[in-house]
Structure 1
Amino acid sequence: MTDLFDHPREVADDTASEQSAETQRRSERRRRAKRRAQRRRNAISFAVMIIALALLVGGAWVLVRPLLTPDDGPTTVSDYPGPGHGEVQVVIEDGASGGQIAETLVDANVVATSGAFISAFNANPDSASIQPGTYALQEEMRAADAVRALLDPASRADMVITVPEGVEAADIYERIATQLQVDVDDVQEATDEVAADYLPEEADGNIEGWLQASTYNIHPDDTPRSILETMVDRTVATLDDLDVPHEQREEMLNIASIIEAEVVLPEDRGRVARVVENRLAGCSGDRTIGMDSTLAYGLGIPAGEITKAQWNDASLPYNTREVPGLPPTPINSPGRASLEAALDPPEGDWCYFITVNLDTGETRFAETIEEHNENKALYREWLEENR
């Protein structure tokens, strides 16, 4: 009998095999597609990460770069080969940083770039010792040579005036005249001008005490007036820094100048300030502060040369044994430490003091006149033993 269906079981098996193979092929295609998609995602993630890192590094460089080189410096550090030529004067301001010095030198064509100077500045361990002042340098110097020149005192084109604490104005005039090689009368004339139109109103035209004890660089174009104005400016800056009210400034300079004249040991500044305050308040009964230094200043002689008649002369305005209150003006240029003592003396009932040993500076403070007389006896004993 003929098989009309041509072995249907075998046909079915073949069909199933073909379907299975097709399924496998589709599965493989799907797996390959997934792998390609995963690779694409990985590539995209990696690219995003690289871009983010680049942005992070770029942002950090933008923040850090100004710290490494001046804002206006060139991106490439270049330097003159040296040795330089000609002469140019540059002024290094007080407190100038390495970057600020670099800008000054670039402007004067001393060095080629700020970057070159800063590199040389950082490489020299002594560069922090560069002092403010006027320097005679050459144009087109090698940056390292410029740093060394700024460290060499021979390069200084200016002079220095030092005003120690406790120096009187008349001595300052002599120092200015000597440095500028002018007559002291020229300085006095400049003083009169400054007193008339430059001093703060609270000084009432009296310049004593307003010439800050400090060290000053004198530039080639300075005059007696410009130097005096600088000294006054520095005093005002100190008073501003200490928050001294304008109406108290003359009084504080006055008290500080007395402290400066009377104190031997720095640790006694505060107690001397308290004695002045207590005597002004009447601890001695008559509000006289009784300071030898004030009358010596008024007479223009050492305290040891004051006569008994002068001590008893109440017509002498600086005779604080006879005239109550502070003297008419400060008696010297006080330093900051004495100003700080005058502004904030320690608590205490001291009304008298005396230095009992001129070699060591030992000073005794007393609350009563009886104690003070005992201390005076100690001073007389010291004098007897050391004549």
Structure 2
Amino acid sequence: MSDLFLGTLSQHEGEPPVPSRRSRSARDNKAHRSRQRRNRRRRSFLVVILALALVVGGGYVVKEFVGGLFSGGEQTVTDYPGPGHDSAQVVINAGDTGSAMGSTLVDARVVATVKAFTAAFAANPVAASIQPGTYQLRLEMRAADAVEALLDPTNLVSTKVTIPEGFTAEKIFARLSEQTGIAVEEFEAAAADPAAIGLPPEAGGEVEGWLSPLTYTIAPDESAAAILSTMVAGTVRTLDDLGVPAADRQTVLIKASITEQEVSFTEEYAKVVRVVDNRLATGMPLGMDTINAYGLGKSAMDLVASDFAVDNPYNARMHTGLPPTPIGNPGAEAINAALHPADGDWLYFITVDLDSGETKFTSSYDEFLVYKAQYQQWLAANR
């Protein structure tokens, strides 16, 4: 047996010496100092990072506080300093929001950005009263100055107002008032003065039916009487262009106004006129709900059974013949149809689908009742 494993193990050559306690302490102190230096470097690095963050963050706050006179790498102006130069015309449409106005003004180079304008719009307590129309403004205005300029009626060049076919005079006055700022009462007063608006004698002093449905450009200083005079002249011109004798004008307008109210498609206008003429020829009441509704000042869709018992000149179930006045203001196509009714023996018609406008015509009352049942089915399903 070998004696290599007998007795106490001795230190062999080549093995590291076992350090003394004193030498271990020195090395520990050195490692501790090294760790302290590394920690100090880490802390210094963190301090630098935090300082940079504060500088960047502070710059952002300063930028936002100042209001962002410049944005992006190219320093784009977000609001012009004003007061502006040269001139530009811009159109503000009815119902435009502050943002929509801002887009229009940016496109015209009146203001620098939509953001600047909407901020100025929101800051002005009366900005919502800006009227639609065409305005003469300057290029490169301050956004706040642009808001003030739109509130100044002297900058209003003109107003465009569109009157749809079939509108009643009451609706026309409301539309004109909304878009011109002229009170409804002024239009009513002008309409009550036939001579002031050029209303022909055959109208019998009633403006209904004589206000031509077109798009009008109205100057800011134009009066209610002048506006209505232009509209009446438009209807007279249409009647003259179609060769309508003065004695027939009112009758033609009444038939055309009924047609305009009753159906949705212009190709059916002449068929409705034929139904009117056929009923007049046989002495039947016209019996059209739109006529009754006009006399009651309500929509035909809002009529109830008791309404048909109201005896007034517009009760088309009680009285035969045409109503005493037009029941709206017809366009040129309806007027032309009134002059050229379609050929047919129809006595009845009914719109069976109010969404599609599908209308059926017949000379048979029994067939009309079938169509009426179809309409009632549609009504029950959709209303």
What is the TM-score normalised by the length of structure 2?
Answer: 0.58
C-alpha change, 1:211 and 1:312, in structure 2 (3 Å) is: same
Residue 310 (structure 1) aligned with residue 307 (structure 2): yes
Deviations 1:105-164 (A, max 9, x none): xxxxxxxxxxxxxxxxxxxxxxxxxxxx989599xxxxxxxxxxxxxxxx9821111110
TM-score in terms of structure 1 length = 0.58
Question: Residues of 1 paired with 2:226 and 2:256: CA distance?
Answer: 25
Do the aligned residues in 1 keep the contact of 2:196 with 2:229 (CA within 8 Å)? no
Aligned residue number for residue 325 of structure 2: 329
Q: Deviations over 1:241-289 (max 9, x none)?
A: 000011110011111000000012222111111111111111xxx4311
- Secondary structure at the aligned position of 2:359 is classed as strand
Residue 296 of structure 1 aligns with which residue? Answer: 293
- 1:187 partner SS: helix
- Counterpart contact for 2:253–2:330, Cα < 8 Å: yes
Query: Are the counterparts in 2 of residues 354 and 375 from structure 1 also a CA contact under 8 Å?
Result: yes
Match runs of 1:268-279 below 5 Å: 268-279=268-279
CA shift in 2, pair 1:195/1:375, >3 Å: farther
Matched, 1:354 2:350: yes
1:202 partner SS: helix
Residue of structure 2 equivalent to 1:231: 231
**Structure 2 match to 1:267:** 267
Matches within 5 A, 1:1-387: 157-194=157-194, 198-282=198-282, 286-313=283-310, 315-387=311-383
Partner of 2:128: none
Q: Secondary structure at the match of 2:230?
A: helix
| Equivalent residues of 1:255, 1:330 under 8 A apart | yes
Deviation at 1:88, TM superposition (A): 12
Runs of 4+ that moved beyond 6 A: 85-89
Contact residue 162 and residue 216 of structure 2 kept, 8 A? yes
Q: Distance in 2 between matches of 1:358 and 1:177?
A: 30
Whichever residue aligns with residue 257 of structure 2, its letter is: S
> In structure 1, the residue corresponding to 2:192 is in which secondary structure?
helix
Q: Secondary structure in 2 aligned to 1:158?
A: strand
Unaligned runs of at least 5 residues, structure 1: 1-84, 90-132, 139-154
Is the contact made by 2:274 and 2:341 (CA closer than 8 Å) also made in structure 1?
A: yes
Q: Distance in 2 between matches of 1:267 and 1:240?
A: 23
Structure 1 residues 304 and 135, CA gap change in structure 2 (3 angstroms): closer
Letter in 1 for 2:377: E
CA-CA distance at 1:304 after TM superposition: 3.0
Change (3 A) 1:197 1:229: closer
- The answer to whether the Cα contact below 8 Å between 1:356 and 1:378 also exists between their aligned partners in 2 is yes
Q: Tell me by how many angstroms 1:307 deviates.
A: 3.0
- 1:195 & 1:292 partners in 2: Cα distance? 33
Structure 2: distance between partners of 1:136 and 1:212: 29
Q: 1:243 to 1:381 in 2, by over 3 A?
A: same
Unmatched segments (≥5 aa) in structure 2: 1-84, 90-132, 139-154
Change beyond 3 A, Cα 1:219–1:359: same
User: Which letter maps to 2:269?
Assistant: R
Return the letter of the residue paired with 1:171: K
Deviation of the 1:302 alpha carbon: 1.7
Structure 1 residues 176 and 367 mapped into 2: Cα distance closer, same or farther (>3 Å)?
same
1:172 offset after TM fit, Å?
1.1
What's the Cα RMSD here? 2.5
**Shift in Å, 1:194:** 3.3
For the residues of structure 1 that align with 2:382 and 2:88, how far apart are their CA atoms?
58
Report SS of the residue matched to 1:355: strand
Aligned residues: 240
Q: Secondary structure at the match of 2:205?
A: coil
